[in-house]
Amino acid sequence: MTEEILSARLEKIRKELNEASGGKYPVPRLIAVTKTRPAEDILLLEKLGISEIGENRVQELREKLPELEGHFRIHLIGRLQRNKVRYIAGSVDMIQSVDSVPLAEEISRRALEAERRIPILIEVNPAGEEQKGGVRPDEVRPLISAIRRLDGIRIRGLMAVMPLTEDSDLLRRLFTGMRELYEQLREEALPGTEIEELSMGMSGDYRLAAECGATMVRVGSAIFGPRN
């Protein structure tokens, strides 16, 4: 991987994000998804203006952490097992994949041990797909009510994992529905919440997500090339 290639791809993505948000919404922040990529490639991004990265596996993150810590804000974006929380509670800047009360309770407990408060997002599975992480949109409020008083966490918004589909009308409906839910929760401003983030859009659909009001997009293969 060379800096020239990365630079050209980032420039293209940033231009598209600018165009897609079209002045209607602020341009979303670009979170570089660095799973499966070696630390030496990831570090090239720092000079190119990337300050936030996403990793989806605890074990892999732990291995790369010594080289990455201090260089980037680190988001955990993948499915998180409760028994792994303790390994990352001291180091991650945000956990985007919270979809159950027991998981939130464990993050709270481990955050308090680490004397931190960890920002979290509620992971939503807007199409209600089986065997995917995330709660259905109608389960978001009950989950927030159940966990918003926990110490050690702060609910900062929503993260969506979309179905793998080429159907852009469907995607647009789902993205728009997520934006509406996000705006309602912002207005409700429940104690224990500080709703500022809507994490949606990946390599295949970040333009559409930007058009529909994402505050951050999570992009991996459009930056680094296909994963094998």
For residue 45, report the phi and psi dihedrals to the nearest 5 degrees: -70, -25
The nearer residue to ligand PLP, 48 or 190, going by C-beta atoms, is 48
Q: Does 219 bind ligand PLP (CB under 6 A)?
A: yes
Q: Does 221 bind ligand PLP (CB under 6 A)?
A: yes
Contacts of 30 (CB under 8 A, 6+ apart): 10, 13, 14, 17, 50, 52, 216, 217, 219
Q: Does 56 bind ligand PLP (CB under 6 A)?
A: yes
| Contact set for ligand PLP, span 14-43 (CB under 6 A) | 33, 35
> What's the rounded Cα separation, in Å, for the pair 220 and 222?
6
The SS3 call for residue 199 is strand
Q: Does 6 bind ligand PLP (CB under 6 A)?
A: no
Q: Which of 20, 30, 77, 171 binds ligand PLP (CB under 6 A)?
A: 77
Q: Does 94 bind ligand PLP (CB under 6 A)?
A: no
The nearer residue to ligand PLP, 133 or 213, going by C-beta atoms, is 133
Q: Does 125 bind ligand PLP (CB under 6 A)?
A: no
164 Cα distance to chain centroid: 17
> What's the rounded Cα separation, in Å, for the pair 178 and 167?
17
34 by Cβ neighbours in 10 Å (0-12 / 13-18 / 19+) ranks as: buried
Least distance from ligand PLP to the Cβ atom of residue 150, Å:
23
Residue ranges binding ligand PLP (CB under 6 A): 33, 35, 56, 77-78, 161, 202-204, 218-222
